[in-house]
Every structure is written in structure tokens, then in C-alpha cells.
Structure 1
């Protein structure tokens, strides 16, 4: 994006008012968002699945509570939980996006979300890194990922014209959008990407998602941020949660603009979840499901995550 285009872009952003839910539409100011767990590579008793605590803090920082979505549950159990939570986040990690418990659960929630949203029952879905890759597979129904040299690097975003009208970015302050376009604020920890060419060559992806940003590893241009045209489905190949909550790697950005990026991204998705009126059938059921029933372990000395929630 040229300097003059970016200036016009930022002026337009400043003119956009803050997103509000229209008068007369009910809002859920107590959103509870599910975060999908995944397999531990080397399981031990009591540690078969995990969620990085940074995803929990990320959502909590914007005013949501979190429920861990366990792997290897029945479709009936997932369907019941779907009716109880306000949205779901598919986190990054290393699980298989084809054959794991993570993959199975993500597929069920994705299908339930599309069915519900088609009927006017609002339910947002977010995919980060591995979750982004899973969304691409679910939507395209094809293996389209390519290897890229993007494992451990911070990058600026190359915005598309679609960013101007996107739900995701329209309420970001102009100065932050300028920083995102010019500074390496987005942390990438992935070996696989969907190239812009592969994305545009797939009719299902083109019709379903608007590309909001791309990046390059110097050899291949890949899609880094998307939002669905007609559904509240969003994805980033990069990690918005790491800037504020992970400190184990030197390439994770912690500048003021990087920290603001974490919170503006979290604020956007939590506000999407506030449009969902799903709820637990009782206060007791809700309390028993919350992440507060578990304690994170400090793992920063041996892991890429500062803290991890482990599950049986």
C-alpha cells in the first residue's frame, strides 16, 4: 500500500464511528467463549490435552469468560455446548487438521455455526494459525496449504482494498492501522500457509472469505487475515494473543502498537460474541464449565507458552 493510499485509508478509518449493536437488538454483555483444546504430543497422566493460557487471557482482557472445549467428546455433547457458549476460538498449535480430536471438534462446531447463522442465530468463529488453516480446509474441502519460511518471524500486514469495509478492522484507530501496515507487529509461528494464488484459485474460498491482508516470506505470498462475507467467521494466520501475553521468544513484538493490536483484536471478537444469545441452562452448569475450575501451569522455561492449561 502506497503512502498516499495509506493516508486516505487512515482518514477514512477516522471517520468511521465505533461499532454498536443497533437499538432494539438484544446484546449479551456476559459472553462466554469456547477455546478448543488439542492433543499433547507426549501425553502423561492428567496431561492429555492442553490450551495455552494466552488465549484465555486474550479473551478475558476484552470482557469475556472462557470455557475449555475438550477433545474427543460426542457430537451430542458438542451440540449441547454449542447452545451454551457465545462463540468459539480455534487456537494455534501442532495438532493434525485432518485426523485429530482437535480437527473433529472444529469440524462439528464449524458446521453448527454455519447452520445456526443461516437461521439468524448469531455465533462467531475465530481461527488463529492452526485454526486458520483448519478453517481453510473446512471451507475449501481441499488440501491447499504450502510450506513457507514463516516459523518465528514478526511481519507488517499488507492490507487489501477489502480492509476498508471489513468488520474486523473498521474501528481500529488510524495510527494503529498505519503501524500494522509499516511495522512488524504480527507474530508468525507457522510452517504452512495458503498462498494467495491457491486461495484465489479455489471458488469456495473466494466466495466465502474476503482477504483482508497478505504477507510474504520472500518467496511466496500468502493470505494472513480473512473474514467471511456472510457469516461471522474470521481467521488470522498470525497470533494476535502473543503480543501481550507471551514472552518466551525474542521475535514476539511488545511495542505499544503491538500491545494495542492484541486488545483491539480481542475487543472485536468479544463484541461479536456479545451478539450471540446462547446461554447455559443453569448457573451451576455454567460455573462447572468455566476455565476457572482449572489452574494453569508455568511452562515458560521449557515451552513456547508462558502458561498452559492441561486436561485429562
Structure 2
């Protein structure tokens, strides 16, 4: 064998080993660079149902889809009203789930809260079995995370925080958290000193709620705020054990909602801080290596299969919405006869 050929084989061996090492490190640090995140649908809003009476069964505000995409991921809609087996199947293909805000009853059969309860339980089981599976809840989704943690029992307090943009009042040890521990100091400064977190909620979670129902044993409070009447409420949480996170405010509105007179900040600092939450959650989802069985299956389930409607011009609180019709199956299945008791948000 010639010396040239030996040298070539030797170099190829070195390159192959190097690629193997780099690949293994990459898989360990970031298990996927193409994350796909589920976004839970919910019952059609009252306002949208007034525009199209009886036509649509569920919807997803497009700002939540864009929030995930802006963080570097793609999205799959997760349907309400399906049996637990559906959620078990779909979560095994996804890298995380976003529970969006909105306005719906928690006690509707086959609705948002029932689906969210299944998702929470399955995600908890997956993490217990060594599969890193993140959840992120916004506003109503934030409240749902705690609601499910409270055995599907009501725990919240009425408050007045509609169209209220605020800086965060961080807890003393907030930088020991996963959510803020690696945040750039510039982002912390913005969140601490500028009114960049828009709030739209009639219920609040207080420290007293957390203590009374034992939720403080499962969740860490990272920040608080005060509503228009001075009531202190919790604005940011993360689970002590699982990669579950919740914000009472709306970072997606800062980036993608432009309805006038909503008191939503769109300053450079507001956009940078809102983008931080999107990138943080997507990066958490990169740690999960779930996959679809095929590219065809993946393509069939992506949100790109559905049209997006300009609802902002129709007096909706959302600029754009994905609307899902009542008479289209969407692979829903028959659902289960389950009820969760609570009240409207």
C-alpha cells in the first residue's frame, strides 16, 4: 500500500472520529436543532363566535404560534376534546407544549382544561421516566399549570389587572432559577425597570393562595406585581422539579399584537425582553429528542396546514387567529366524558 494511500486513510479516520465526537457533544448539549412544539387550542372565544355564530369550535391566537416560531421552532396544534390516548401519542412526537392564554371555562367537558390536565400528567410522567419535556404557560396557561397541580381545584383570587403593563418585582433569589439564571443582565434590567410585561387577567394567584393550597411546595415564585387596586399577585413561576414554567403576563402580545388602546409596550426593550422568553422556552425544548415517525407525518400535523384569519379588523383582541371549524374532524376522536370544576377566566 502506497504511503499516500496510508496517509489518506489515516486522515479520514481522524476526521471521522472528530465528527463522531462533535456529533455526540451536540446531541448531548442540544438534542434537536429543529424543535417542534405543541400549542393547545381552546374553545372558540365569545367575541369570535359572535362574528361567526356556530361556525368554529376552537381557535389558537396566531401570536402564540409566532412566539414559538420567533424563538426558532415550528408548531403543531393540539386539539381539545380528545381521549388521553391522543395526548399520549402526540406528546411523544413533540419537544414541548405551550399552554396559551385566553378566556374559557375550566369546567367545560372535553375542553381546554381537560386537555391541559392530560398534557400536564403525561409531561410529568415523561420527565419522571428521564425524558426532558418542558411546558410553558401564559396567563390562563399559567393559571392552568397551578390548577392541575392543585388536583383540579379552584385556588385563585379575583383581581383587577386588565391592560396593565408593569416591570417585574423580582424575588430575592430569582437569579438562582433556571428561567432567569442565565438571562443577560441587560434583559433583567429591562424587566426590572421598564413597564414591558402586559397583563390581561381578572384572576390572580397570590402568595397566600400558594401557601394555603401547598402549591409553594411544588413551585418557586420568581416575581410578583400589584394590580390596579394594590393587590400583590405572582407573575412568574417555575416548577421545583420539572421544566415547567409560567408567566401571568403576555410576552407574545409585545411581539405580535397591535390592537390599539391595549396598553402593550412595543419599545426596543420590551421586544428584547419578550424575545428572551421565546428563546428560553425553545432552547428548553431543544433538550428533548422526540421525533415524528416520518417527514410525511410531521408535515400533516404542522400548523402550516391551516389558514390564518385577520381577526383584528373585526374587533377581536387578536390581530390574527387560527380558526377550527365544528364540522371538520381534524382527527379528533370521540373524547372522554370528563369534567373539571372551576370558573371562567
Determine if the TM-score, normalized by the shorter chain, exceeds 0.5: yes
1:122 maps to 132
How far apart are the structure 1 equivalents of 2:73 and 2:173? 28
Residue in 2 aligned with 1:10? none
- The answer to whether residue 27 in structure 2 is matched with residue 27 in structure 1 is no
Change in Cα spacing, 1:82 to 1:249, as seen in structure 2 (3 Å) is same
The answer for unaligned runs of 5 or more in structure 2 is 1-23, 326-345
User: Aligned match of 1:157 in 151, 164, 168?
Assistant: 168
Out of 178, 195, 198, which is 1:184 matched to?
195
Report the secondary structure of 1:168's partner residue.
helix
CA RMSD of aligned residues (A): 1.6
- Per the alignment, residue 214 of structure 1 pairs with 224
Matches of 2:25 and 2:260 in 1, distance apart? 42
Query: For structure 1, which runs of at least 5 residues remain unmatched after alignment?
Result: 1-20
Instruction: Give the conservation status (yes or no) of the 8 Å contact 1:162–1:210.
Output: no
User: SS of 2:66's equivalent?
Assistant: helix
| TM superposition shift of 1:171 | 2.4
What is the alpha-carbon distance in structure 1 between the residues aligned to residue 42 and residue 236 of structure 2? 23
Cα distance between partner residues in 1 of 2:27 and 2:311: 46
8 Å Cα contact 2:38-2:98 kept in structure 1: yes
Distance in 1 (CA, whole Å) between partners of 2:70 and 2:27 is 27
Deviation at 1:135, TM superposition (A): 1.0
2:161 partner SS: strand
Cross-structure match for 2:318: 305
Query: What is the rounded CA distance, in whole Å, between the counterparts of 2:268 and 2:179 in structure 1?
Result: 20
The 2-side partners of 1:229 and 1:22 are apart by 27
Please give the secondary structure, in 2, of the residue aligned with 1:29: coil
Greater alpha carbon shift after TM alignment, 23-32 vs 139-148: 23-32
> Residue in 1 aligned with 2:21?
none
Cα offset for 1:271?
0.4
Quote how far apart the aligned CAs of 1:44 are.
4.1
1:202 is displaced (CA, Å) by 2.6
Counterpart CA distance in 1 for 2:185 and 2:206 is 28
Structure 1 249/212 Cα, relative in aligned 2: closer, same or farther at 3 Å? farther
Question: What TM-score does the superposition give when structure 2 sets the normalisation length?
Answer: 0.81
Bigger Cα Rg: 2
C-alpha distance in structure 2 between counterparts of 1:169 and 1:276, whole Å: 20
- Normalised by the length of structure 1, the TM-score is 0.89
Match of 2:306 in 1: 294
Corresponding residue for residue 237 of structure 2: 226
SS at match of 1:30: coil
Name the residue aligned to 1:137: 147
Q: Is the 8 A contact 2:37 2:73 kept in 1?
A: yes
- 1:172 CA displacement: 2.0
Partner of 1:60: 69
Deviation at 1:96, TM superposition (A): 1.4
